[in-house]
Amino acid sequence: MFPTSKSPTELCTNAIRHGARSTVTMILSFVAPLGLLLAGIQLFDVEVSRERFFLLALVVVGGVMAVQVMLESSKRTADKLEDVLRSDRRD
């Protein structure tokens, strides 16, 4: 199941790199929409109260999280389907 050609050190390094990459992606996926929200508010010169801004930010971040969950779920489903198709070809 696990690749035997790699040392434990290489496996740990790869795991740390993957974790750091996904963390940076996650942070950017929250910061970018909030930046766009702020830019839109400034661009259209809209007066927004602090409470409304936090509500908008919550909606934006919630929407981003929902899209990420759906994409990850569809990716897992596609991976499972690919595994099933591979196992059928072997048989």
- What pLDDT does residue 91 have? 64
Q: Is the pLDDT of residue 6 over 80?
A: no
Q: How many other C-beta atoms lie within 10 A of the C-beta of residue 10? A: 11
In this prediction, residue 61 has a pLDDT band, given cuts at 50, 70 and 90, of confident
Q: What is the mean pLDDT of the chain?
A: 80
pTM, full prediction: 0.56
- One-character DSSP codes across the chain: ---SSS-HHHHHHHHHHHHHHHHHHHHHHHHHHHHHHHHHHHHTT----HHHHHHHHHHHHHHHHHHHHHHHHHHHHHHHHHHHHHHHHH-
- What pLDDT does residue 3 have? 52
> Which has more confidence, 40 or 28?
40
- What pLDDT does residue 20 have? 67
